[in-house]
Amino acid sequence: MSRRFFVEADGGSRGNPGPAAYGAVVRDADTGEVLAELAEYIGIATNNVAEYRGMLAGLRKAYELDPEAFVEARLDSKLVVEQMTGRWQVKHPDMRTLAREALSVFSPGHVTFTWVPRAQNSHADRLVNMALDARAKGEPVRLPPGNPTAAPVNRLPGWTPDLGTPTTFLLLRHGLTRFTGEKRFSGSGGEDLPLTEEGLAQAKRAAVKLAGMSVDVVITSPLLRARQTAEALATALDLEVVEEHDLRECAFGQWDGLTMAEVMRRWPQEVSAWLASTSVAPPGGESFDAVAHRVEATRRRLLEAFPGRTVAVVSHVTPIKMFVRSALDAPTHAVFRMELRPCSLTTVQWWEDGQASLRTFNDTSHLD
């Protein structure tokens, strides 16, 4: 099945013509996940030319991501949309050239153009103003930390000049529950199980390990097993626990509380589809793509809130895998290739320029 993207684009000039810039965002149409952000100062131009430049840049980036994708370009310029759909003529020579280039990026039939109100195009508009403000100060455009296109040059942390102080995420899976030991689906929306006695002991041992790691804040999923694990950390670290709703486990719907064998007997076709695509949700549940979207948004918020700090995140298998997937710039289906033991520790660092480093994965040395 072909992927679907949204391209949100905007452009503007201060004076018409005047100093001009564009902004563009490429999103996964099914999950809403931001795949790329673009912002560039283009010199002296009109608002309309800047709008065209933003649309063209967004389409080219979408093509780089998947040349077979189907794209809906969303713009708040009625002029550009009407011209690109062929309902209005393109009379300006510069715009005529840009329109031809935009139509040639994808194969015919792969791109549609939609007008949206300005309020629904605020992300791209913000990028435009970011580029114009940077130009006015004589500075380069600096996209937000964690931006998918903010770090086009790969680096080797520890081998290159100082990149600054990273934000460190100590990703701790909750301790053992009854369902964990029985290998049953245990998502959000199902039974909110507490830790077993062994799980509580695991949480205390993890707290001892993290006590020597200069933790600044403890963030937790709202589910009971994660909160109990986080409370053990907070007690050892003398910190408050902050709940983050979007760090909850994937919702497995009708599969919650069942083993994989039981699910395969009752839903054989649904299980096959689920294992074949991260866009497929269990009956009444949530797809891995949807989890990726909410976890990625949370990761960005935490990076903005705690730059250069050490953040202990107590969560579940799927959200922790999504942090790792993001750090490695891996596809969402990489979650099928990872395994995390109860109360295991995974450490990931992000630098201000978007560079990431996976430091440890599934570390259980504190449990031995």
Residue 17 and residue 124 in one domain: yes
Domain carrying residue 317: 167-367
Q: Is 86 helix (H, G, I), strand (E, B) or coil?
A: coil
Identify the domain boundary among 81, 114, 136: 136
Residue 222 and residue 101 in one domain: no
For 227-242, how does the pLDDT look when each residue is reduced to its tens digit (9 = 90+)?
999 999 999 999 999 9
Torsion of CA 41, 43, 47, 49, to 10 degrees: -100
55: tokens are: 């649309």
Give mean pLDDT, residues 308-336. Answer: 92
Q: Is residue 159 part of a domain?
A: no
Q: Is residue 141 part of a domain?
A: no
92 is catalytic: no
For 36-58, how does the pLDDT look when each residue is reduced to its tens digit (9 = 90+)?
999 999 888 899 999 999 999 99
Q: Is residue 215 part of a domain?
A: yes
Identify the domain boundary among 136, 158, 176: 136
Q: Is residue 246 part of a domain?
A: yes
For 73-120, how does the pLDDT look when each residue is reduced to its tens digit (9 = 90+)?
999 999 999 999 999 999 888 788 899 989 999 989 999 999 999 888
**Residue 13, strand partner residues:** 20
Domain count, the chain: 2
**Residue 336, strand partner residues:** none
220 within 8 A of 241, measured Cβ to Cβ: yes
Gap between the Cα atoms of 325 and 10, Å rounded: 30
Question: One-letter amino acid identity for 320?
Answer: I
Report percent pLDDT > 70 for the chain: 94
Residue 178 and residue 311 in one domain: yes
214: tokens are: 């200069």
Q: Is residue 296 part of a domain?
A: yes
pLDDT for res 157 = 65
Domain harbouring 338, CATH code: 3.40.50.1240
Which DSSP letter does residue 21 get? E
195 within 8 A of 225, measured Cβ to Cβ: yes
Residue 252 and residue 357 in one domain: yes
Nearest to 102 by CA among 68, 56, 47: 56
Gap between the Cα atoms of 208 and 187, Å rounded: 27
119 within 8 A of 74, measured Cβ to Cβ: no
Residue 196 and residue 120 in one domain: no
Residue 186 and residue 318 in one domain: yes
Which residue blocks in the chain are alpha helix, DSSP H?
47-65, 78-84, 93-105, 122-136, 178-181, 197-210, 224-237, 260-266, 268-276, 288-305, 317-328
Catalytically annotated residue among 8, 40, 51, 249: 249
pLDDT for res 364 = 96
228: tokens are: 């109990």
Residue 210 and residue 263 in one domain: yes
Q: Is residue 361 part of a domain?
A: yes
Question: One-letter amino acid identity for 161?
Answer: P
Residue 32 and residue 92 in one domain: yes
Residue 211 and residue 351 in one domain: yes
Residue 103 and residue 187 in one domain: no
286 is catalytic: no
269 within 8 A of 283, measured Cβ to Cβ: no
Choice among 134-138, 177-181, 255-259 with the minimum mean pLDDT: 134-138
4 φ/ψ angles, rounded to the nearest 5 degrees: -125, 135
Output 135 or 204, whichever has higher pLDDT: 204
pLDDT for res 152 = 43
Residue 66 and residue 182 in one domain: no
Gap between the Cα atoms of 45 and 12, Å rounded: 9
Give the pTM. 0.62
Listing DSSP states for 251-310 in one string gives P-GGGTT-BHHHHHHH-HHHHHHHHH-TT---TTS--HHHHHHHHHHHHHHHHHHSTT-E
Interior/surface letters 5-37, b for 16+ CB within 10 angstroms, e for the rest: bbbbbbbbbeeeeebbbbbbbbbbbbbebbbbb
pLDDT for res 219 = 98
Catalytically annotated residue among 40, 174, 293, 296: 174
Q: Is residue 150 part of a domain?
A: no
Gap between the Cα atoms of 198 and 264, Å rounded: 29
For 107-122, how does the pLDDT look when each residue is reduced to its tens digit (9 = 90+)?
899 999 999 998 889 9
Residue 130 and residue 171 in one domain: no
174 within 8 A of 367, measured Cβ to Cβ: no
Question: Rg of the Cα trace of the chain?
Answer: 23
Q: Is residue 148 part of a domain?
A: no
Domain harbouring 115, CATH code: 3.30.420.10
Question: One-letter amino acid identity for 29?
Answer: A
Place of tokens 């909160």: 227
Output 368 or 252, whichever has higher pLDDT: 252
